[in-house]
Protein backbone atom coordinates (compact mmCIF):
# COMPACT_ATOMS: atom_id res chain seq x y z
CA UNK A 1 0.00 0.00 0.00
CA UNK A 2 1.54 3.33 -1.06
CA UNK A 3 1.67 6.43 1.13
CA UNK A 4 -1.05 8.07 -0.97
CA UNK A 5 -3.31 5.09 -0.31
CA UNK A 6 -2.64 5.32 3.41
CA UNK A 7 -4.24 8.76 3.42
CA UNK A 8 -7.50 7.64 1.86
CA UNK A 9 -7.98 3.92 2.52
CA UNK A 10 -9.44 3.00 5.95
CA UNK A 11 -7.52 0.43 7.98
CA UNK A 12 -10.53 -1.80 8.50
CA UNK A 13 -10.46 -1.21 12.25
CA UNK A 14 -13.90 -2.19 13.55
CA UNK A 15 -15.90 0.73 14.95
CA UNK A 16 -16.06 -0.61 18.50
CA UNK A 17 -12.27 -0.24 19.01
CA UNK A 18 -12.58 3.50 18.37
CA UNK A 19 -14.89 3.94 21.37
CA UNK A 20 -12.96 1.92 23.97
CA UNK A 21 -11.53 3.75 26.99
CA UNK A 22 -7.71 3.75 27.06
CA UNK A 23 -7.45 1.89 30.38
CA UNK A 24 -9.72 -0.87 29.11
CA UNK A 25 -7.59 -1.32 25.98
CA UNK A 26 -4.43 -1.48 28.09
CA UNK A 27 -5.92 -4.11 30.40
CA UNK A 28 -7.09 -6.23 27.48
CA UNK A 29 -3.71 -6.06 25.72
CA UNK A 30 -1.92 -7.11 28.93
CA UNK A 31 -4.36 -9.98 29.43
CA UNK A 32 -3.93 -11.30 25.89
CA UNK A 33 -0.15 -11.08 26.22
CA UNK A 34 -0.32 -13.08 29.44
CA UNK A 35 -2.66 -15.70 27.96
CA UNK A 36 -0.51 -16.18 24.85
CA UNK A 37 2.88 -16.12 26.59
CA UNK A 38 5.76 -17.22 24.35
CA UNK A 39 3.39 -18.05 21.50
CA UNK A 40 3.22 -14.33 20.84
CA UNK A 41 6.14 -11.98 20.14
CA UNK A 42 5.73 -8.23 19.98
CA UNK A 43 8.78 -6.30 18.70
CA UNK A 44 8.57 -2.51 18.26
CA UNK A 45 10.73 -0.03 16.39
CA UNK A 46 12.12 2.95 18.34
CA UNK A 47 9.83 5.31 16.39
CA UNK A 48 6.67 3.69 17.73
CA UNK A 49 4.39 5.65 20.05
CA UNK A 50 4.87 5.23 23.81
CA UNK A 51 1.39 3.72 24.08
CA UNK A 52 2.65 0.84 21.90
CA UNK A 53 6.25 0.65 23.17
CA UNK A 54 5.00 -0.03 26.72
CA UNK A 55 3.77 -3.46 25.52
CA UNK A 56 6.83 -4.37 23.42
CA UNK A 57 8.78 -7.54 24.21
CA UNK A 58 11.77 -5.87 22.56
CA UNK A 59 12.52 -2.51 20.98
CA UNK A 60 15.26 -1.91 18.45
CA UNK A 61 16.59 -0.30 15.31
CA UNK A 62 16.03 -2.00 11.96
CA UNK A 63 19.07 -4.23 12.30
CA UNK A 64 18.23 -5.38 15.83
CA UNK A 65 14.62 -6.07 14.85
CA UNK A 66 15.76 -8.18 11.88
CA UNK A 67 18.21 -10.10 14.11
CA UNK A 68 15.56 -10.66 16.79
CA UNK A 69 13.04 -11.93 14.24
CA UNK A 70 15.63 -14.34 12.83
CA UNK A 71 16.44 -15.66 16.32
CA UNK A 72 12.89 -16.15 17.56
CA UNK A 73 11.84 -19.73 16.89
CA UNK A 74 9.16 -20.19 19.57
CA UNK A 75 6.55 -17.55 18.72
CA UNK A 76 3.69 -18.73 16.52
CA UNK A 77 2.71 -15.14 15.84
CA UNK A 78 4.79 -11.99 15.60
CA UNK A 79 2.74 -8.82 15.91
CA UNK A 80 5.18 -6.38 14.40
CA UNK A 81 4.93 -2.81 15.60
CA UNK A 82 6.79 -0.90 12.93
CA UNK A 83 6.32 -0.34 9.22
CA UNK A 84 5.57 -2.62 6.29
CA UNK A 85 9.14 -3.27 5.08
CA UNK A 86 10.18 -4.28 8.61
CA UNK A 87 7.32 -6.76 8.86
CA UNK A 88 8.22 -8.17 5.42
CA UNK A 89 11.81 -8.62 6.58
CA UNK A 90 10.57 -10.42 9.70
CA UNK A 91 8.44 -12.73 7.55
CA UNK A 92 11.38 -13.55 5.27
CA UNK A 93 13.64 -14.31 8.25
CA UNK A 94 11.15 -16.42 10.24
CA UNK A 95 10.02 -20.01 9.68
CA UNK A 96 7.08 -20.96 7.45
CA UNK A 97 4.97 -21.87 10.48
CA UNK A 98 5.38 -18.42 12.05
CA UNK A 99 2.88 -15.72 11.14
CA UNK A 100 3.75 -12.01 10.95
CA UNK A 101 0.97 -9.48 11.55
CA UNK A 102 1.16 -5.71 10.96
CA UNK A 103 -1.58 -4.10 13.12
CA UNK A 104 -2.33 -1.48 10.45
CA UNK A 105 -1.60 -2.29 6.81
CA UNK A 106 -1.35 1.44 6.09
CA UNK A 107 1.90 1.62 8.06
CA UNK A 108 4.15 1.97 5.02
CA UNK A 109 7.32 4.01 4.45
CA UNK A 110 7.41 6.92 2.03
CA UNK A 111 11.06 6.23 1.25
CA UNK A 112 10.44 2.56 0.42
CA UNK A 113 7.69 3.74 -1.94
CA UNK A 114 10.26 5.73 -3.92
CA UNK A 115 11.63 2.60 -5.61
CA UNK A 116 9.53 -0.14 -7.17
CA UNK A 117 10.77 -3.29 -8.81
CA UNK A 118 9.86 -2.18 -12.34
CA UNK A 119 11.82 1.05 -11.97
CA UNK A 120 14.71 -0.96 -10.51
CA UNK A 121 14.80 -3.43 -13.40
CA UNK A 122 14.64 -0.61 -15.93
CA UNK A 123 17.43 1.28 -14.15
CA UNK A 124 19.65 -1.80 -13.99
CA UNK A 125 19.22 -2.46 -17.70
CA UNK A 126 20.10 1.11 -18.63
CA UNK A 127 22.99 1.36 -16.18
CA UNK A 128 24.43 -1.88 -17.56
CA UNK A 129 24.72 -0.27 -20.95
CA UNK A 130 26.88 2.43 -19.31
CA UNK A 131 28.82 0.42 -16.73
CA UNK A 132 28.65 -3.20 -17.94
CA UNK A 133 29.18 -5.80 -15.25
CA UNK A 134 30.97 -3.51 -12.82
CA UNK A 135 28.08 -2.75 -10.42
CA UNK A 136 26.88 -4.40 -7.22
CA UNK A 137 23.41 -3.44 -5.97
CA UNK A 138 22.90 -2.63 -2.28
CA UNK A 139 19.53 -1.80 -0.84
CA UNK A 140 18.68 -0.09 2.41
CA UNK A 141 16.28 -2.37 4.29
CA UNK A 142 13.73 0.41 3.81
CA UNK A 143 12.68 -1.17 0.51
CA UNK A 144 10.18 -3.73 -0.75
CA UNK A 145 10.83 -7.46 -0.55
CA UNK A 146 10.86 -7.52 -4.37
CA UNK A 147 13.81 -5.11 -4.42
CA UNK A 148 15.64 -7.09 -1.74
CA UNK A 149 15.09 -10.14 -3.93
CA UNK A 150 16.44 -8.34 -7.03
CA UNK A 151 19.52 -7.28 -5.06
CA UNK A 152 20.03 -10.81 -3.69
CA UNK A 153 19.78 -12.29 -7.20
CA UNK A 154 22.51 -9.93 -8.43
CA UNK A 155 24.98 -10.79 -5.68
CA UNK A 156 24.23 -7.76 -3.49
CA UNK A 157 23.01 -7.25 0.04
CA UNK A 158 20.75 -5.22 2.27
CA UNK A 159 22.12 -2.57 4.62
CA UNK A 160 20.76 -0.73 7.63
CA UNK A 161 21.84 2.60 9.03
CA UNK A 162 23.92 0.83 11.67
CA UNK A 163 25.98 -1.34 9.30
CA UNK A 164 25.99 0.74 6.11
CA UNK A 165 29.73 1.49 6.41
CA UNK A 166 30.68 -2.17 6.70
CA UNK A 167 28.34 -3.16 3.88
CA UNK A 168 29.49 -0.47 1.43
CA UNK A 169 33.09 -1.35 2.30
CA UNK A 170 32.32 -5.01 1.56
CA UNK A 171 30.51 -4.12 -1.69
CA UNK A 172 33.69 -2.47 -3.02
CA UNK A 173 35.57 -5.73 -2.47
CA UNK A 174 33.06 -7.36 -4.84
CA UNK A 175 32.70 -4.82 -7.64
CA UNK A 176 34.10 -1.52 -8.86
CA UNK A 177 30.81 0.36 -8.42
CA UNK A 178 27.69 0.20 -6.33
CA UNK A 179 24.07 1.04 -7.02
CA UNK A 180 22.59 2.17 -3.70
CA UNK A 181 18.78 2.05 -3.30
CA UNK A 182 16.53 3.83 -2.34
CA UNK A 183 17.97 6.47 0.04
CA UNK A 184 20.38 8.80 -1.70
CA UNK A 185 21.31 10.43 1.62
CA UNK A 186 22.34 7.30 3.51
CA UNK A 187 24.24 6.18 0.39
CA UNK A 188 26.00 9.52 -0.05
CA UNK A 189 26.81 9.98 3.64
CA UNK A 190 28.19 6.46 3.95
CA UNK A 191 30.27 6.49 0.77
CA UNK A 192 31.68 9.92 1.63
CA UNK A 193 32.65 8.71 5.11
CA UNK A 194 34.51 5.85 3.41
CA UNK A 195 36.49 8.27 1.26
CA UNK A 196 34.48 8.35 -1.98
CA UNK A 197 34.38 11.94 -3.26
CA UNK A 198 31.08 13.63 -4.11
CA UNK A 199 32.37 13.96 -7.68
CA UNK A 200 32.43 10.17 -7.94
CA UNK A 201 28.72 9.88 -7.09
CA UNK A 202 25.98 9.95 -9.71
CA UNK A 203 22.25 10.06 -9.03
CA UNK A 204 19.71 7.84 -10.78
CA UNK A 205 16.36 9.55 -11.32
CA UNK A 206 13.75 6.77 -11.48
CA UNK A 207 10.94 9.08 -12.59
CA UNK A 208 12.71 10.25 -15.74
CA UNK A 209 14.95 7.17 -16.13
CA UNK A 210 18.05 9.32 -16.34
CA UNK A 211 21.47 9.42 -14.73
CA UNK A 212 22.33 12.79 -13.25
CA UNK A 213 26.08 13.21 -13.65
CA UNK A 214 28.23 15.91 -15.18
CA UNK A 215 31.65 14.22 -15.44
CA UNK A 216 33.21 11.23 -17.15
CA UNK A 217 31.30 7.99 -16.44
CA UNK A 218 34.59 6.14 -15.84
CA UNK A 219 34.94 8.16 -12.62
CA UNK A 220 31.59 7.05 -11.15
CA UNK A 221 31.99 4.85 -8.05
CA UNK A 222 28.50 5.12 -6.53
CA UNK A 223 25.11 5.45 -8.20
CA UNK A 224 22.59 6.80 -5.71
CA UNK A 225 18.88 6.20 -6.17
CA UNK A 226 16.98 9.49 -6.00
CA UNK A 227 14.93 8.65 -2.91
CA UNK A 228 14.75 10.17 0.55
CA UNK A 229 12.90 10.10 3.85
CA UNK A 230 10.18 12.72 4.11
CA UNK A 231 10.72 12.96 7.88
CA UNK A 232 14.51 13.42 7.87
CA UNK A 233 14.59 15.81 4.91
CA UNK A 234 12.90 18.34 7.24
CA UNK A 235 16.13 18.87 9.20
CA UNK A 236 18.05 21.75 7.64
CA UNK A 237 21.29 23.71 7.89
CA UNK A 238 19.21 26.60 9.18
CA UNK A 239 17.99 24.41 12.07
CA UNK A 240 21.63 23.68 12.96
CA UNK A 241 22.75 27.31 12.88
CA UNK A 242 19.66 28.43 14.87
CA UNK A 243 20.18 25.80 17.54
CA UNK A 244 23.89 26.54 17.89
CA UNK A 245 23.11 30.25 18.22
CA UNK A 246 20.41 29.69 20.86
CA UNK A 247 22.30 26.99 22.80
CA UNK A 248 26.06 27.59 22.67
CA UNK A 249 28.03 24.37 23.22
CA UNK A 250 25.16 22.09 22.15
CA UNK A 251 25.98 18.75 20.46
CA UNK A 252 24.05 17.99 17.28
CA UNK A 253 23.30 14.34 16.56
CA UNK A 254 21.31 13.23 13.52
CA UNK A 255 20.17 10.12 11.67
CA UNK A 256 22.13 9.48 8.42
CA UNK A 257 18.90 9.74 6.42
CA UNK A 258 19.43 13.50 6.79
CA UNK A 259 21.09 15.28 3.87
CA UNK A 260 24.87 15.27 3.36
CA UNK A 261 25.05 18.97 4.30
CA UNK A 262 23.18 18.40 7.58
CA UNK A 263 25.24 15.34 8.50
CA UNK A 264 28.48 17.18 7.73
CA UNK A 265 27.49 20.11 9.97
CA UNK A 266 26.43 17.80 12.83
CA UNK A 267 28.72 16.47 15.54
CA UNK A 268 27.51 12.88 15.31
CA UNK A 269 25.32 10.74 13.07
CA UNK A 270 24.05 7.20 13.40
CA UNK A 271 21.16 4.78 13.63
CA UNK A 272 18.38 5.14 16.19
CA UNK A 273 20.28 2.68 18.42
CA UNK A 274 23.46 4.75 18.14
CA UNK A 275 21.56 7.95 18.98
CA UNK A 276 19.99 6.35 22.07
CA UNK A 277 23.32 4.94 23.29
CA UNK A 278 25.21 8.18 22.69
CA UNK A 279 22.76 10.15 24.84
CA UNK A 280 22.78 7.41 27.52
CA UNK A 281 26.56 7.66 27.75
CA UNK A 282 26.67 11.47 27.67
CA UNK A 283 27.66 13.38 30.80
CA UNK A 284 25.11 14.99 33.12
CA UNK A 285 24.22 18.53 32.11
CA UNK A 286 25.41 18.05 28.51
CA UNK A 287 23.31 19.67 25.77
CA UNK A 288 21.93 17.82 22.76
CA UNK A 289 19.89 18.59 19.65
CA UNK A 290 18.56 15.43 18.02
CA UNK A 291 17.62 15.18 14.35
CA UNK A 292 15.31 12.22 14.05
CA UNK A 293 11.67 11.18 14.44
CA UNK A 294 9.67 12.85 17.18
CA UNK A 295 8.35 9.86 19.14
CA UNK A 296 11.93 8.79 19.76
CA UNK A 297 13.18 12.30 20.50
CA UNK A 298 10.37 12.87 23.02
CA UNK A 299 11.10 9.54 24.71
CA UNK A 300 14.82 10.34 24.99
CA UNK A 301 13.99 13.77 26.46
CA UNK A 302 11.74 12.15 29.11
CA UNK A 303 14.31 9.47 29.97
CA UNK A 304 17.15 11.95 30.51
CA UNK A 305 15.99 14.81 32.73
CA UNK A 306 19.65 15.30 33.76
CA UNK A 307 20.55 16.49 30.23
CA UNK A 308 19.32 19.41 28.14
CA UNK A 309 17.81 17.80 25.06
CA UNK A 310 15.78 19.37 22.26
CA UNK A 311 14.65 18.41 18.79
CA UNK A 312 16.89 19.82 16.07
CA UNK A 313 13.74 21.03 14.32
CA UNK A 314 11.44 22.89 16.75
CA UNK A 315 8.48 21.87 14.56
CA UNK A 316 9.03 18.22 15.34
CA UNK A 317 8.58 15.69 12.58
CA UNK A 318 6.55 12.56 13.28
CA UNK A 319 6.69 9.58 10.94
CA UNK A 320 3.00 9.47 10.07
CA UNK A 321 3.07 5.85 9.01
CA UNK A 322 4.86 4.64 12.15
CA UNK A 323 2.15 6.52 14.04
CA UNK A 324 -0.55 4.44 12.39
CA UNK A 325 0.03 1.74 14.97
CA UNK A 326 -1.85 2.78 18.10
CA UNK A 327 -3.65 1.15 21.01
CA UNK A 328 -6.89 0.41 19.10
CA UNK A 329 -5.02 -1.22 16.18
CA UNK A 330 -2.78 -3.17 18.54
CA UNK A 331 -5.71 -4.49 20.54
CA UNK A 332 -7.60 -5.38 17.35
CA UNK A 333 -4.55 -7.27 16.01
CA UNK A 334 -4.13 -9.18 19.27
CA UNK A 335 -7.81 -10.11 19.58
CA UNK A 336 -7.78 -11.42 16.01
CA UNK A 337 -4.70 -13.52 16.81
CA UNK A 338 -6.32 -14.84 20.00
CA UNK A 339 -9.39 -15.85 17.99
CA UNK A 340 -7.19 -17.70 15.49
CA UNK A 341 -7.57 -15.25 12.60
CA UNK A 342 -4.64 -13.98 10.51
CA UNK A 343 -5.95 -10.47 9.90
CA UNK A 344 -3.36 -8.11 8.38
CA UNK A 345 -0.86 -10.89 7.78
CA UNK A 346 2.35 -9.93 5.96
CA UNK A 347 3.34 -12.79 3.68
CA UNK A 348 6.18 -12.62 1.20
CA UNK A 349 5.83 -15.21 -1.56
CA UNK A 350 8.36 -18.03 -1.83
CA UNK A 351 10.01 -16.92 -5.07
CA UNK A 352 10.62 -13.43 -3.73
CA UNK A 353 11.85 -14.74 -0.36
CA UNK A 354 14.31 -17.13 -1.97
CA UNK A 355 16.61 -14.33 -3.15
CA UNK A 356 15.60 -11.67 -0.61
CA UNK A 357 16.94 -13.94 2.11
CA UNK A 358 20.29 -14.10 0.32
CA UNK A 359 20.53 -10.29 0.43
CA UNK A 360 19.55 -10.27 4.12
CA UNK A 361 21.88 -13.14 5.03
CA UNK A 362 24.85 -11.42 3.39
CA UNK A 363 24.14 -8.50 5.71
CA UNK A 364 23.44 -10.53 8.86
CA UNK A 365 26.69 -12.51 8.39
CA UNK A 366 28.58 -9.22 8.56
CA UNK A 367 26.44 -7.40 11.13
P1 LIG B 1 17.07 2.67 12.16
O2 LIG B 1 17.53 1.40 11.53
O3 LIG B 1 18.20 3.59 12.50
O4 LIG B 1 16.21 2.38 13.35
O5 LIG B 1 16.22 3.50 11.10
C6 LIG B 1 15.04 3.05 10.56
C7 LIG B 1 14.30 4.11 9.88
O8 LIG B 1 13.36 3.90 9.17
C9 LIG B 1 14.77 5.46 10.07
O10 LIG B 1 13.93 6.33 9.40
FE1 LIG C 1 10.32 5.52 6.33
FE2 LIG C 1 11.29 7.91 7.05
FE3 LIG C 1 9.30 6.77 8.46
FE4 LIG C 1 11.80 5.78 8.55
S5 LIG C 1 11.10 7.75 9.28
S6 LIG C 1 9.91 4.60 8.33
S7 LIG C 1 12.47 6.12 6.41
S8 LIG C 1 9.21 7.46 6.30
CA 137 – ligand 2 centroid, Å? 21
CATH 1.20.120.1200 fits 232-311, yes or no: no
Q: Is the CB of 229 under 6 A from ligand 1?
A: yes
100 and 90 in contact (C-beta within 8 Å)? Answer: yes
> What is the pLDDT at residue 316?
77
Give the DSSP letter string of 58-101.
EEE-HHHHHHHHHH--S-SEEE-BS-HHHHHHHHHHS-TT-EEE
> What is the pLDDT at residue 192?
98
Which of ligand 2's atoms lies nearest the C-alpha of 112?
1
Pick the CATH number of 3-109+321-348 from 3.40.50.300, 1.50.10.10, 3.40.50.261, 3.40.50.10800: 3.40.50.10800
Report the alpha-carbon angle 147-152-153, nearest 5.
Answer: 100
Q: Which ligand is nearest to the CA of 227?
A: 2
CA 325 – ligand 2 centroid, Å? 14
Q: Which ligand is nearest to the CA of 45?
A: 1
> What residue ranges of the chain are covered by domains with CATH 3.40.50.10800?
3-109+321-348, 112-229, 232-311
What is the number of alpha carbons within 13 Å of residue 276 lying toward its C-beta? 17
257 and 186 in contact (C-beta within 8 Å)? Answer: yes
> What is the pLDDT at residue 6?
57
Q: Is the CB of 183 under 6 A from ligand 1?
A: no
User: 210 — phi, psi (to 5°)?
Assistant: -135, 155
Report the alpha-carbon angle 204-113-362, nearest 5.
Answer: 75
- Please list the pLDDT of the chain residue by residue as tens digits (367 residues): 655 565 567 889 999 999 999 999 999 999 999 999 999 999 999 999 999 999 999 999 999 999 999 999 999 999 999 999 999 999 999 999 999 999 999 999 999 999 999 999 999 999 999 999 999 999 999 999 999 999 999 999 999 999 999 999 999 999 999 999 999 999 999 999 999 999 999 999 999 999 999 999 999 999 999 999 999 999 999 999 999 999 999 999 999 999 999 999 999 999 999 999 999 999 999 999 999 999 999 999 999 999 999 999 998 778 999 999 999 999 999 999 999 999 999 999 999 999 999 999 999 998 7
Q: Is the CB of 91 under 6 A from ligand 1?
A: no
Which of ligand 2's atoms lies nearest the C-alpha of 45?
6
Nearest CA to ligand 2 atom 2: 229
Residue 152's Cβ-count burial label (10 Å; 0-12, 13-18, 19+) is buried
> What is the pLDDT at residue 5?
61
DSSP structural state of residue 272: H
CA 67 – ligand 1 centroid, Å? 14
Contact partners, residue 267, CB within 8 Å, separation at least 6:
251, 252, 253
Pick the CATH number of 112-229 from 3.30.420.40, 3.30.70.890, 3.40.50.720, 3.40.50.10800: 3.40.50.10800
> What is the pLDDT at residue 317?
73
Q: Is the CB of 269 under 6 A from ligand 1?
A: no
75 and 39 in contact (C-beta within 8 Å)? Answer: yes
C-alpha span between 190 and 167 (Å, rounded): 10
Amino acid sequence: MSILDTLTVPSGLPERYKQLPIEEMKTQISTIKKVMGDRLYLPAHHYQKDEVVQFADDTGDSLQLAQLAAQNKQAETIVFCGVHFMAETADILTEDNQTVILPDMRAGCSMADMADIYQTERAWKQLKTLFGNTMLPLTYVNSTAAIKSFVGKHGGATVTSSNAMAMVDWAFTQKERILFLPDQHLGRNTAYELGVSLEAMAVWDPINDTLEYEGNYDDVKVILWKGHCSVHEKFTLENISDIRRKHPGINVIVHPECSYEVVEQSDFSGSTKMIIETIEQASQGSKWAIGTEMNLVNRIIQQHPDKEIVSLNPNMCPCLTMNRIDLPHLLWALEEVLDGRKTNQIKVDRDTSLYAIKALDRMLERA
